[in-house]
Amino acid sequence: MAQRNPIVQQSPNSFLTGQLLIAMPAMADERFAQSVIYLCAHTPEGAMGLVLNRPVARPTFEELLKQLKVDPVPPAREIRMYAGGPVDSGRGFVLHTADWTGDGSLMVDDGVALTASLDVLKVIAEGSGPRECLLALGYAGWGPGQLDRELQENAWLPVPADEALVFGGDHGTQWRRALAKMKIDPLLLSPSAGHA
């Protein structure tokens, strides 16, 4: 995965923006085996997404708030935290429902936004903010045309996103549930790519 600007500007040609990418069984990169990625941007300049099914045990949300000097600690509300990808893993991105937005929030689609400022962490710690949210540390990034090539090589299966898959939190079954949404049994998928 190439390092790119984490917030790629949206354009009318944002083909897969707001969809999920499901790693196919033949995924050669161990960092993405059986991963489910929410694609925040997909443009001719590149793509950026967040892995949704790699929870992190440390830091906890409370520990993160202490490090960032965000009150209140302990927080009035918790947020699930994930390893969002191998790029810029020290940077946090809050993916959330669009019922709350702040300065710098990027509207991904009608129902989902992405915020990388401390404002969203403050309102969540205070017990308010978006109805559904998760915090990803780092992101997955692709250079120009890279994701399109990987899709042609059958590394990923694009799937329409829904709130249950994005924010449902059952990361242990998320990969299988995303495939089931497309009525695909992962046991029947060939680990080798084929082209007609």
Count of the separate structural domains present in the chain: 1
For residue 105, being part of any structural domain is answered with: yes
- Domain with residue 109: its CATH number is 3.40.1740.10
Q: pLDDT tens across 81-90, in order? A: 999 999 999 9
Q: Are strands 46-51 and 133-142 parallel, antiparallel or unpaired?
A: antiparallel
Kindly tell me if the per-residue pLDDT of 167 is higher than 70: yes
For residue 12, being part of any structural domain is answered with: no
Kindly tell me if the per-residue pLDDT of 175 is higher than 60: yes
CA gap 166, 169 in Å, rounded: 8
For residue 43, being part of any structural domain is answered with: yes
Between residues 181 and 52, which one has the greater pLDDT? 52
In the prediction, which pLDDT does 2 show? 35
For residue 194, being part of any structural domain is answered with: no
Residue pair 106/40 in contact (Cβ under 8 Å)? The answer is: yes
**Enclosing domain of residue 73:** 19-188
To which residue do tokens 């893993």 refer? 89
For residue 67, being part of any structural domain is answered with: yes
In the prediction, which pLDDT does 193 show? 46
In the prediction, which pLDDT does 184 show? 78
For residue 119, being part of any structural domain is answered with: yes
Percent of the chain with pLDDT over 90: 71
C-alpha closest to that of 25 among 142, 195, 165, 175: 175
For residue 36, being part of any structural domain is answered with: yes
Going by pLDDT thresholds of 50, 70 and 90, the confidence category of residue 14 is low
Between residues 115 and 186, which one has the greater pLDDT? 115
To which residue do tokens 């990169």 refer? 29
Kindly tell me if the per-residue pLDDT of 110 is higher than 60: yes
CA gap 102, 106 in Å, rounded: 9
Between residues 147 and 170, which one has the greater pLDDT? 147
C-alpha closest to that of 48 among 80, 3, 113: 3
Write out the H or E segment, with its range, that includes residue 62: helix 61-68
In the prediction, which pLDDT does 3 show? 36
Q: What is the largest CA-CA distance in the chain?
A: 57
59-74 mean pLDDT: 93
The Cβ of residue 15 has, within 10 Å, a number of other Cβ atoms equal to 15
Between residues 12 and 101, which one has the greater pLDDT? 101
For residue 91, being part of any structural domain is answered with: yes
**DSSP conformation letters of 90-115:** EEEEEEEETTS--TT-EE-SSSEEEE
Q: Are strands 87-97 and 36-43 parallel, antiparallel or unpaired?
A: unpaired
To which residue do tokens 């205070």 refer? 126
80-100 mean pLDDT: 96
Phi, psi of 152 (to 5 degrees): -65, -30
Average pLDDT, the chain: 87
11-20 mean pLDDT: 76
Paired tokens of 163: 């709130």
69-78 mean pLDDT: 92
